[in-house]
Structure 1
Amino acid sequence: MNVIPLNEAWAEPMCELWNRELGDLFPMRQQLFVQNSFRDVNVYLPGSWIAQDSDGRLLGFIIAKKWQETEREMKLGEGGGWIQALVVRSEARGKGIGSELLGRAEEALREAGASQVFIGRDPWHYVPGLPKALSMHRQWLEKRGFKQLYEVSDMLSSDETDLIVTPEFADGANVKLLTPEDKEEMLTFFRHCFPGRWLYEAQCYWERGGQGREFIGLFQGSEMIGFCRVNDEHSPLIAQNTYWAPLFEEPLGGIGPLGVDDQYRGKGYGLGLVKAGIAELQQRGMRQLVIDWTELVDFYAKLGFHTWKSYDLMSKTL
């Protein structure tokens, strides 16, 4: 076995190996793979490696990340790093390849000052943790020091989900799709209410060509007090809740994240924003809708969503 540094020249065979091993559950598009694993500046190259056999055939790979966008106002990762992906060819397993790759990634992150490492949940992540559908690998991770934290789920709309109209909101609040003119008010809202990952994702959205149509804003007068993100196949980025669109014959829509300013909670705004998001995507012709990475299973069940994929969030102290 030969281990070489991660290189984008390997993007196509890496994507092919992913689909060979995981494509039935998580079908990877090369556009998504490049977006999340090569365009993200948080990919930590000293911890990201490719394993090949003596003939140069790809046996496996690991992609590690650590927060490197020091110019931004937030810092993600709680002082830790992330393993975005660890994939080994099935017939090459049991030979120490995964252990070698993981060991290299952990050592690089440790030397860079990381105090812990997470499975998934990285910026530009694929999964928020170890998929329950791959729970046969949980023991392998636990033997290497990883511990389960808690469970989150992706949720899918039911075939019977009714057509929904945008609801009225209490106290004169109203919703609209954002436009470029709303950018500064929207970022002010995120800085005030959601200054971490959601602000980061909002900044990236505008930086990479967003025009506003992926965000429904809830306003009290001219002040933004809540939001719901709505994603579809025309979005400028492949968003988290549409990652696995190839599993569906029809176009897939994504709902969320969503949030409301603490000062305005208790007025039904959260549920109303989800309904507004569903109504918007239904008007765009979407019937299959996904909400990703949530613990609020009962909340979304009120609108006909059911658990689709679940994940164990896992971490290890370095």
Structure 2
Amino acid sequence: MNWTLEPYDVTHAAAVAALWNQEFGRQLPLSAALLALRWQPADGEPTVARIARWRDRLLGALLVRFPTSPWYPARSAFVTLLVVDRAMRGRGIGRALLDEAIRIARSHGYRSLVFGGGPGHLVPGIPADAPLETWRFLRRPGALPREIFHDLLVDLALPLPTVPPRADLRLEPAPREAMLAFLTQEFPGEWESDVSDAYDAGATVLGLYHAETLVGFAAIHSPGQWPPPPSLFWAESLPGPVAGLGPLGIAQAYRRRGWGLAMVIGALERLRAAGARWTIIDWTDLASFYGRAGAHLWRTYQVAELPLT
């Protein structure tokens, strides 16, 4: 079988999503629409976008982005997706796709390939329920396991923990301009962009106010929001209306007072009142903190990094 490597374009999205769903469709069901939405590199951003094809059959795909935003690690490229048809594994297709990424990354002066995260990410790392062969495949060229992250789930049919009310705190929707100014000061970088996107998508961004001072924020996402935030990528795998929570944070000077937990519980109460059955908190290593608000582990991922030097 003489398969070839060819450029990827949006017309291949449905076939690539079908390959993804061979492995992860039950836990992480990927639609062609979501893949097309996430694979929209910025103008001037280098990418590797390849498919492996035999005649009219798509055998594998690779999508890699070389981010230009300053909040990503310098000289690290991010693998958004690497899939091979189950029936065609063991024929060198995956390694040929990976070698193409390595060759182009090195030609641009990049020092590592990171599997998970990055701009337009689908998952923050390798899913924990990926087959053992996934890690064998990555370890052969020298990739190393790194951080572990989780998606958490809150069952809103169950009672939420309570916190003592405080008359000097209030949680309410925040005006966009004031919120973005707050983020510029307290959380500059990626969260500024994420929250701006949340406003554009129609999400509600709550502000936590101490007296009249904005001291925290929490973005909440209604069931069915489109474009979806990462917390809603896999909502179809749950029965009933699914909401999302995050990003969120408390200003540095006001931490360790219990206000963050109070804000999380207040946000969850709003989502339950709006009709959500579940809430997903994506990509976090703060499972113990969110556990105090009733969240439990739902999905787990581990980042892998392949040094190129």
Q: Does the pair score TM above 0.5?
A: yes
Q: 1:42–1:66: 8 Å Cα contact kept in structure 2?
A: no
Alpha-carbon contact 2:114-2:306 (below 8 Å) kept: yes
Alignment match, 2:141 = 144
Picking from 22, 32, 48, the partner of 2:24 is 22
How far residue 67 of structure 1 moved from its aligned partner, in angstroms, is 1.2
Residues 1:258 and 2:254 aligned together: no
What residue is the counterpart of 2:109 in the other structure? Answer: 113
Question: How far did 1:262 drift?
Answer: 0.4
State the 1:96 CA deviation.
Answer: 0.7
Residue 36 of structure 2 corresponds to: 34
- 1:295 and 2:285 correspond: yes
Work out whether residues 195 and 247 of structure 2, in 8 Å CA contact, stay in contact via their aligned partners in 1: no
| Helix, strand or coil at the partner of 1:48 | strand
Q: How does 1:140-179 map to 2 (within 5 A)?
A: 140-158=137-155, 161-162=158-159, 168-169=165-166, 172-178=168-174
Q: Report how many residues are paired.
A: 305
CA contact (8 A) 2:7 2:50 kept: yes
* Long gaps (5+) in structure 2: none
Alignment of 1:1-318 (within 5 A): 1-37=3-39, 39-41=40-42, 46-53=47-54, 55-68=55-68, 74-136=70-132, 137-158=134-155, 161-162=158-159, 168-169=165-166, 172-178=168-174, 182-206=175-199, 209-211=200-202, 213-318=203-308
Pick which of 19-28 and 157-166 moved more.
Answer: 157-166
- The answer as to whether partners of 2:151 and 2:281 remain within 8 angstroms in 1 is yes
Query: What's the offset of the Cα at 1:166?
Result: 9.0
Aligned 8 A contact 1:167 1:276 in 2: no
Structure 1 residue 14 displacement after superposition: 1.6
For 2:11, the aligned partner's letter is A
The one-letter code sitting in structure 1 at the alignment partner of 2:61 is F
Q: Kindly tell me: are residues 167 and 121 of structure 1, through their superposed partners in 2, closer, same or farther at Cα, counting changes over 3 Å? A: farther
Deviation for aligned residue 1:164: 6.7
Instruction: Report the AA paired with residue 278 of structure 2.
Output: Q
Question: 2: CA distance between counterparts of 1:118 and 1:91?
Answer: 26
Closer/same/farther in 2, CA of residues 201 and 316 from structure 1, 3 Å limit:
same
Instruction: Name the TM-score, length of structure 2 as normaliser.
Output: 0.91
Whole-angstrom distance in 1 between the partners of 2:197 and 2:68: 14
**Residues 123-157 of structure 1, C-alpha deviation per residue, up to 9 Å, x if partnerless?**
22111111110151112211121111121111112
Decide whether aligned partners of structure 1 residues 266 and 36 sit closer, same or farther in structure 2, where only a CA change above 3 A counts: same
What's the CA shift string for 1:38-88, capped at 9, x where partnerless?
Answer: x242896652200011x220001000011135xxxx442333110000010
